[in-house]
């Protein structure tokens, strides 16, 4: 399938060095790298220009910045001396989730209108042994595999099956951690997940599994730059800012570290991009099949409105929202087919489908 046009050409600054579930959610996901700080100080958004904020029950705040320099300005005011952390955050608006089946609303479960999870953005050095696996042996190779599928490249897959079982079915031990990701003393080269990453990298034409920067990154004098054009394209999902969310499936898998626990004793999870959908309709079809609603879709909208496009029968309000967005984008004037080509491809609908609803919303 054609790769969704959700990345910019710009390369972001990517330094080397920083539950629930497991549940699998199909939604409009956004994944970006942020520089974060944790403090009890309140920083006004208009003055400090942070992108996201999360308040804890203890009255503390997580601030997320797109700029490392801006994060450093706020961080210096906290009096700490380590500097901002770097994180790869995945988030989606709760009302975009298509396959939620919980007894409570997803907003209630996450105590937020946004579903989110993070993976620490760290290098491969021994000093990063406590968290390097989050990016390098879980979130990044999974996302690279999803991108390889989207590009139509050979892909042996990247299995995380051991981290998707029910929590009580696994004895979380030092031995299990060592087998899956290695440890400070042994390293990671012989671990299960690193070997799977090597297989994936090799299928994409990269013989050195330690390469995780795009071609010409300039980071660490190019020490970690791949020489594979295929891997380069797949790595853009981490190293390029996203222009917009994409319909995709993200699963939260268990962190394999023995002591990866929250204060409540609940095991931590890490975000894994499993699949990129070419359109909302494709995502919706997958969700409908999963929750058992396939074949129950009405063919027309209520109140005598035009017929809904194929795949949107159960999602009247979502379709109306998509048309409203197009109207705003084009200042209310129905554009000719060529100007809607990319939008039509993303939504998996025809020009006449949009035209029929243009003056109805």
162 within 8 A of 108, measured Cβ to Cβ: no
pLDDT for 11 equals 54
Burial class (CB within 10 angstroms; exposed 0-12, middle 13-18, buried 19+) of 179: middle
pLDDT for 6 equals 67
Instruction: Classify the C-alpha dihedral 7-10-12-16 as positive or negative.
Output: positive
pLDDT for 183 equals 84
Does an H or E element contain 225, and which? none
Tokens of 359: 């003056």
Distance CA 324, CA 74 (A): 38
**Among residues 10, 16, 6, 22, which one has the least CA distance to residue 252?**
22
54 within 8 A of 62, measured Cβ to Cβ: yes
pLDDT for 206 equals 97
**Beta bridge pairs of residue 242:** 7
pLDDT for 307 equals 82
Does an H or E element contain 116, and which? strand 114-120
pLDDT for 295 equals 39
**Among residues 246, 272, 264, 205, which one has the least CA distance to residue 345?**
246
pLDDT for 21 equals 42
Does an H or E element contain 91, and which? strand 85-93
Distance CA 323, CA 358 (A): 7
Alpha helices in the chain (DSSP H): 45-48, 68-76, 106-110, 132-133, 140-151, 174-181, 192-203, 229-239, 280-291, 316-329, 337-347, 351-358
95 within 8 A of 77, measured Cβ to Cβ: no
pLDDT in tens, 174-231: 899 999 999 888 889 999 999 999 999 999 999 999 999 999 998 999 999 999 999 9
Residue 74, classed as helix, strand or coil, is: helix
Work out the angle at residue 286's Cα, subtended by the Cα atoms of residues 285 and 287, and round it to the nearest 5 degrees.
90
pLDDT in tens, 34-51: 999 999 999 999 999 999
pLDDT in tens, 253-275: 999 998 888 777 788 899 999 99
| Tens-digit pLDDT string for the chain (361 aa) | 444 466 655 555 543 322 334 689 999 999 999 999 999 999 999 999 999 988 887 789 999 999 999 999 999 999 887 889 999 999 999 989 999 887 888 888 887 889 999 999 999 988 888 899 999 999 999 999 999 999 999 899 899 988 987 666 567 888 999 999 998 888 899 999 999 999 999 999 999 999 999 999 989 999 999 999 999 999 999 998 888 889 999 999 999 998 888 777 788 899 999 999 988 888 988 998 888 754 344 344 455 688 888 767 667 877 888 888 888 888 888 887 777 877 787 777 778 888 888 888 8
33 within 8 A of 88, measured Cβ to Cβ: yes
Distance CA 164, CA 185 (A): 26
């Amino acid at each position: 399938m054609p790769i969704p046009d959700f990345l910019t050409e710009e390369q972001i600054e990517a330094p080397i060095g920083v539950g629930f579930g497991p549940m699998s959610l199909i939604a409009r996901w956004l994944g970006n790298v942020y520089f974060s700080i944790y403090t009890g100080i309140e920083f006004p958004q208009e003055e400090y220009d942070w992108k996201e904020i999360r308040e804890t029950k203890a009255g503390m705040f997580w601030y997320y910045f797109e700029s490392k320099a801006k994060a450093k300005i706020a961080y210096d005011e906290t009096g700490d001396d380590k500097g901002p952390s770097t994180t790869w955050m995945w988030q989606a608006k709760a009302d975009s989730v298509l396959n939620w089946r919980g007894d409570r609303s997803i907003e209630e479960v996450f105590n937020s209108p946004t579903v989110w999870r993070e993976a620490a953005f760290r290098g491969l050095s021994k000093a990063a042994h406590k968290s390097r696996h989050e990016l390098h042996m879980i979130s990044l190779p999974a996302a690279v595999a999803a991108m390889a599928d989207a590009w139509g490249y050979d892909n042996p897959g990247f299995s995380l099956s051991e981290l998707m079982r029910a929590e009580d079915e696994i004895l979380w031990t030092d031995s299990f951690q060592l087998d899956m990701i290695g440890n400070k003393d042994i390293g990671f080269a012989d671990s299960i997940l690193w070997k799977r990453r090597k297989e994936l990298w090799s299928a994409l034409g990269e013989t050195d599994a330690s390469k995780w920067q795009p071609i010409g990154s300039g980071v660490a004098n190019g020490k970690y730059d791949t020489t594979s054009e295929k891997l380069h394209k797949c790595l853009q999902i981490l190293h390029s800012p996203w222009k917009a969310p994409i319909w995709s499936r993200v699963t939260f898998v268990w962190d394999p570290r023995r002591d990866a626990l929250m204060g409540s004793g609940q095991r931590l999870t890490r975000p894994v991009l499993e699949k990129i959908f070419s359109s909302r309709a494709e995502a919706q079809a997958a969700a409908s099949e999963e929750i058992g609603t396939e074949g129950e879709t009405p063919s027309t909208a209520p109140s005598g409105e035009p017929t809904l496009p194929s795949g949107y029968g159960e999602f009247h309000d979502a379709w109306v929202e998509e048309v409203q967005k197009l109207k705003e984008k084009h200042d209310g004037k129905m554009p000719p087919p060529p100007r809607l080509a990319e939008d039509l491809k993303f939504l998996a609908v025809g020009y006449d489908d949009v035209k029929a609803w243009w003056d109805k919303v």
